[in-house]
Structure 1
Amino acid sequence: MLNELALNPIAFNLGPIQVHWYGIFIASAVLIAVILSAHEAQRRHIDPENIYDLIIYALPIAIVSARIYYVFFQWGYYRNHLNQIIAIWDGGIAIYGALIGAAITVYCFCRHRHISVWTMLDIVAPTVIMGQAIGRWGNFMNQEAFGQVTSLAFLKHLHLPAWLIQQMYIQGAFRQPTFLYESIWDALGFVLLMSLRHVPKLFKRGEVVLCYVAWYAFGRFFTEGMRTDSLMLGNIRFSQMLSVIFFIGAIALIIARRHRNHALNWYLN
C-alpha cells in the first residue's frame, strides 16, 4: 500500500538528471564537515589543504565501501539485479561500511603525509557524527531506516509535525522514526564533542575519536534493535554486533592507552 502523501524524494530535475534529496543531504553534510575540519586543522597547526586533499580520496572510497558493505548483505537480491548495484541515489549505503573505508583512507593518507593519524581522526570525528545526523534525513526522504509498526497516537504523543508523521506511513502502517532517534543522538554527540574537545587537559590525543566511536556505537545499538531493515548475518543484526564490538573496543583502548603510556600528549594543552 503506497503512501500518496509521502514527500517526493526527488528535489528537482536538471534536464534528464534527477537530483535526489538524499544526495543533497549527503553533499551538504560533507561540505559542512570539510569547512569545520579545515578550521580545526588550522588550530591544530595542520595545513587545511590536507583536509581538502583528504576528502578527495576519503569521500569516494567511503561511498564505495558503504555500498559494497550493503550489497554484500543484500546479495540475494542484487545478484539478480546487477544493474541496480550502482543505484546509490535510491539509498542503500551502510554507514559502518563508510566509516571503515574512510578510516583506512585517513590512516594511509596521514602516513603518506607524515601527519599524526590520531590528531587527524580527532579533528574530523565531531564533523563526521554531525554529517551522520544530517545524512539520516536523506533516509527520511527515501522512507528507509525505519522501525517497527507503531500507532498514529504514539507519533502524535512525540509532538512531531504532521509532515514527518505522514512520511512515517510506510508499507501500510505507521513506523517508528528510528532515523530521527539516531539523528538526534548524533547531533547531541556533535554538540558534546565540539564543546568538550577544547577543554584543556580533558582529552588525550586520540580520545576525541574514540569517544565518538563509543558514543555512536552505544546509540546505534539501540536504534538498530528497533529497525526492521537491518542487515543480517544469520539471525544476528550485524550492525548491532559491530556496535557492541566498537563500543567495548573504544572504551578499552582509552583505558589501555592511558595506563600504558602516561606521556600521551593532550589534544589541547
Structure 2
Amino acid sequence: MYDVGLWAVVFGIIGARLYHVITVPDQYFGPNYDGTGDLSKIFAIWEGGIAIWGAIGGGALGVWFACRRYGLRMPAMADTIAPGILLAQAVGRWGNYFNQELFGEPSTLPWGLEVEPDHYNFPADVPADTLFHPTFLYESIWNLLGVAILLLIDRRFKLRNGMMLWSYIVWYTLGRIPIESIRLDKAQEWTVLGIEARTNTWTSVLMFLIAVTLLVYSIVTRPKTPAEQAEADKIYRDDYVSEEDAADSPVDSSTTLNNEVATSDNGDTSNPTT
C-alpha cells in the first residue's frame, strides 16, 4: 500500500498542477494566450495553484500504474482507498482557510468568514468588514459526512466491484456543484446549452453523470454468490507472482533440460530457427 500511495501522490501533484494551469491559463500564457504570461511560473507550485480534480485524475493514473506494476486489482484497490481520499479532501480544504482563498460570496450569516481587508484575495468592490461564505468549511463538512455515510453503507451492503469508488464521486460532486457556484475566485467559465458556469462546475457535472452510470453498472454486475464475493475482495491478481516469491522458487534447470530433450525427441518443429 505504501508503494501505491507513493505513485498516487506523485501523479496526483502533477495532475493537480496541470489542471490548474489549463483551467487558469492567463497567468502562464497571458490573456487569450497572447504570450504575455510567465511560463516559468508553471513549475512554481510553491506559489499555490493546485486543483482537486487534477489531483483525483492524476492520482487515479498513479494507482493504475502501481496496480499494473505490483499485481494489484484496480477495482478492489480503488474501493479500498476511496473513503480515505474523501477524508483527505476534508482535511485539505482547511488549507484554503489558512491561505484566505477560494471563499464564497458575501454573507451575513453568523458563521461568515472574515478575510483581512489588505489581503490580495479580498474583493475590491466590497466594504472592509464584509464577511464571506466559508466554502472550505461547507465542503469539509460535506466530505466528512460522506466518509461516515459511505462506510456505514459499505458495512451493510459491502460495496465492491467499483461501487465504493463511484459512490464517492457521486457524493462529492453532489456537494461540489452548489458550493462551486458561490465561490468568488477568478475562473474560466463555459456556456453549455445556454447555461454559463465555471470549469470546475462542468467537470463536476460530467463526473457525476459518469459516476452514476458506472455505479448503476457496478450494482447490476455486482458479485452475488459467496465465491464471487470472495473473488471481488482479492487485492492481488491471480496471475501475479511477487519478486520475492519468484526468487524463493527458482526454476529447476534439470527439469527444463529434460523437457527440452523430450521435445527434441518428439520432433517438435513448432518453433524453428529462422
TM-score between the two structures when normalised by the length of structure 1: 0.70
Any residues of structure 2 matched to 1:17-166 within 5 Å, and which? 51-79=1-29, 80-151=37-108, 154=109, 156=110, 158=111, 165-166=113-114
2: CA distance between counterparts of 1:116 and 1:123? Answer: 11
1:208 maps onto 2:164 in alignment: yes
2: CA distance between counterparts of 1:230 and 1:174? Answer: 18
1:220 maps onto 2:181 in alignment: no
CA contact (8 A) 2:104 2:133 kept: yes
2: CA distance between counterparts of 1:188 and 1:230? Answer: 28
Q: Which runs of 5+ in 1 are unaligned?
A: 1-50
Q: Which runs of 5+ in 2 are unaligned?
A: 30-36, 191-195, 234-274
1:231 to 187, 191, 205: 187
> Among the aligned pairs, what percent are the same residue?
33
Q: What's the counterpart of residue 247 of structure 2? A: none
The Cα shift of 1:133 comes to 0.4
The Cα shift of 1:143 comes to 1.0
1:252 to 213, 228, 237: 213
Q: In the TM superposition, what whole-angstrom CA distance separates every residue of 1:26-64 from its partner, at most 9, and x where no partner exists?
A: xxxxxxxxxxxxxxxxxxxxxxxxx10012221121111
CA RMSD of aligned residues (A): 2.4
The Cα shift of 1:105 comes to 1.4
CA contact (8 A) 2:104 2:184 kept: yes
Tell me the amino acid that sits aligned with residue 24 of structure 2. Answer: Q
2: CA distance between counterparts of 1:140 and 1:117? Answer: 34
The Cα shift of 1:193 comes to 2.1
The count of aligned residue pairs is 209
After the TM superposition, which segments of 4 or more aligned residues of structure 1 sit over 6 Å from their partners?
none
Q: What's the counterpart of residue 197 of structure 1? A: 154
The Cα shift of 1:148 comes to 1.1
Q: What's the counterpart of residue 204 of structure 2? A: 243
Q: What's the counterpart of residue 251 of structure 2? A: none
DSSP-derived class of the 2:155 partner: coil
2: CA distance between counterparts of 1:250 and 1:222? Answer: 18
Tell me the amino acid that sits aligned with residue 59 of structure 1. Answer: V
CA contact (8 A) 1:90 1:142 kept: no
2: CA distance between counterparts of 1:184 and 1:139? Answer: 14
Q: In the TM superposition, what whole-angstrom CA distance separates every residue of 1:94-121 from its partner, at most 9, and x where no partner exists?
A: 0000000111111122122221101100
DSSP-derived class of the 2:131 partner: strand
CA contact (8 A) 1:224 1:240 kept: yes
The Cα shift of 1:239 comes to 1.2
The Cα shift of 1:167 comes to 3.8
Moved more, 207-216 or 81-90: 81-90
Larger radius of gyration, structure 1 or 2?
2
